[in-house]
Amino acid sequence: MKLAVLVNEGPYTHQASDTAYQFTKAALEKGHEIFRVFFYHDGVNNGTRLTVPPQDDRNIQKRWTELADKHKLDLVVCIAAAQRRGLLDENEMKRHGKDANNIAPGFRISGLGQLIEAGIQADRLVTFGD
Protein backbone atom coordinates (compact mmCIF):
# COMPACT_ATOMS: atom_id res chain seq x y z
CA MET A 1 0.00 0.00 0.00
CA LYS A 2 1.22 3.51 -0.81
CA LEU A 3 0.87 5.83 2.20
CA ALA A 4 1.28 9.53 2.81
CA VAL A 5 1.79 10.89 6.32
CA LEU A 6 0.78 14.31 7.66
CA VAL A 7 2.39 15.53 10.91
CA ASN A 8 0.68 18.57 12.47
CA GLU A 9 2.39 18.73 15.87
CA GLY A 10 5.89 19.60 16.92
CA PRO A 11 8.38 17.38 18.72
CA TYR A 12 8.42 17.30 22.53
CA THR A 13 5.05 19.08 22.89
CA HIS A 14 2.73 16.35 21.64
CA GLN A 15 2.84 12.59 21.08
CA ALA A 16 1.87 12.98 17.42
CA SER A 17 5.42 13.32 16.09
CA ASP A 18 6.68 10.23 17.92
CA THR A 19 3.63 8.25 16.82
CA ALA A 20 3.99 9.39 13.20
CA TYR A 21 7.64 8.34 13.22
CA GLN A 22 6.86 4.92 14.72
CA PHE A 23 3.99 4.41 12.27
CA THR A 24 6.16 5.36 9.29
CA LYS A 25 9.00 3.11 10.42
CA ALA A 26 6.64 0.16 11.01
CA ALA A 27 4.91 0.67 7.65
CA LEU A 28 8.26 0.61 5.86
CA GLU A 29 9.32 -2.53 7.75
CA LYS A 30 6.07 -4.23 6.62
CA GLY A 31 6.87 -3.40 3.00
CA HIS A 32 4.54 -0.46 2.47
CA GLU A 33 5.63 2.54 0.41
CA ILE A 34 5.69 6.01 1.98
CA PHE A 35 4.99 8.49 -0.80
CA ARG A 36 5.70 11.55 1.34
CA VAL A 37 5.76 12.82 4.92
CA PHE A 38 4.37 16.35 5.09
CA PHE A 39 4.96 18.56 8.15
CA TYR A 40 2.37 21.27 8.73
CA HIS A 41 1.45 23.76 11.49
CA ASP A 42 3.75 23.18 14.51
CA GLY A 43 4.83 19.94 12.86
CA VAL A 44 7.37 21.94 10.85
CA ASN A 45 9.45 22.16 14.03
CA ASN A 46 10.41 18.53 13.47
CA GLY A 47 12.62 19.81 10.65
CA THR A 48 14.95 22.17 12.49
CA ARG A 49 18.59 21.14 12.77
CA LEU A 50 19.01 23.31 15.88
CA THR A 51 17.13 20.97 18.23
CA VAL A 52 19.40 19.76 21.03
CA PRO A 53 17.52 17.39 23.33
CA PRO A 54 19.19 16.11 26.53
CA GLN A 55 21.47 13.12 25.97
CA ASP A 56 19.06 10.74 27.69
CA ASP A 57 16.08 11.88 25.57
CA ARG A 58 15.12 10.88 22.05
CA ASN A 59 16.25 13.10 19.18
CA ILE A 60 13.14 13.22 17.02
CA GLN A 61 14.68 15.31 14.23
CA LYS A 62 17.64 12.93 14.00
CA ARG A 63 15.26 9.95 13.85
CA TRP A 64 13.38 11.47 10.91
CA THR A 65 16.64 12.38 9.14
CA GLU A 66 18.05 8.87 9.54
CA LEU A 67 14.79 7.22 8.42
CA ALA A 68 14.64 9.48 5.37
CA ASP A 69 18.25 8.68 4.49
CA LYS A 70 17.78 4.93 4.90
CA HIS A 71 14.52 4.73 2.91
CA LYS A 72 14.89 7.75 0.59
CA LEU A 73 11.81 9.41 2.10
CA ASP A 74 10.49 12.74 0.94
CA LEU A 75 10.19 14.88 4.10
CA VAL A 76 8.42 18.12 3.15
CA VAL A 77 7.96 21.11 5.45
CA CYS A 78 5.17 23.59 4.62
CA ILE A 79 6.78 26.87 3.57
CA ALA A 80 4.19 29.21 5.12
CA ALA A 81 4.14 27.37 8.45
CA ALA A 82 7.94 27.17 8.44
CA GLN A 83 8.43 30.89 7.81
CA ARG A 84 6.03 31.78 10.63
CA ARG A 85 8.13 29.67 12.98
CA GLY A 86 11.55 30.80 11.79
CA LEU A 87 12.49 27.67 9.86
CA LEU A 88 14.43 28.49 6.70
CA ASP A 89 16.42 26.64 4.07
CA GLU A 90 19.26 28.20 2.07
CA ASN A 91 16.96 29.69 -0.59
CA GLU A 92 14.50 31.20 1.89
CA MET A 93 17.38 32.55 3.98
CA LYS A 94 18.71 34.46 0.98
CA ARG A 95 15.27 35.55 -0.23
CA HIS A 96 14.44 37.10 3.15
CA GLY A 97 17.89 38.56 3.81
CA LYS A 98 18.62 36.38 6.84
CA ASP A 99 22.10 35.33 7.90
CA ALA A 100 21.47 31.63 8.59
CA ASN A 101 19.32 28.65 7.75
CA ASN A 102 18.23 25.89 10.06
CA ILE A 103 16.60 23.15 7.99
CA ALA A 104 17.71 19.67 9.03
CA PRO A 105 19.29 17.21 6.59
CA GLY A 106 16.70 15.16 4.74
CA PHE A 107 13.98 17.82 4.98
CA ARG A 108 12.95 20.25 2.26
CA ILE A 109 10.63 23.25 2.21
CA SER A 110 7.76 23.44 -0.26
CA GLY A 111 4.13 24.48 -0.57
CA LEU A 112 0.77 22.93 0.22
CA GLY A 113 0.62 21.55 -3.31
CA GLN A 114 2.95 18.82 -2.08
CA LEU A 115 0.33 17.80 0.50
CA ILE A 116 -2.42 17.78 -2.15
CA GLU A 117 -0.27 15.67 -4.46
CA ALA A 118 0.46 13.23 -1.62
CA GLY A 119 -3.26 12.86 -0.93
CA ILE A 120 -3.92 12.16 -4.60
CA GLN A 121 -1.00 9.78 -5.21
CA ALA A 122 -1.25 7.73 -2.01
CA ASP A 123 -3.81 5.07 -1.24
CA ARG A 124 -4.19 6.54 2.27
CA LEU A 125 -3.26 9.83 3.93
CA VAL A 126 -2.67 9.24 7.63
CA THR A 127 -2.80 12.32 9.86
CA PHE A 128 -1.08 12.74 13.24
CA GLY A 129 -2.10 15.65 15.48
CA ASP A 130 -4.87 18.21 15.29
Residues acting as catalytic residues: 78
Largest CA distance in the chain: 44
Question: Which residues, other chains included, contact 18 with Cβ-Cβ below 8 Å and sequence gap of 6+?
Answer: 11, 58, 60
Residue pair 48/61 in contact (Cβ under 8 Å)? The answer is yes
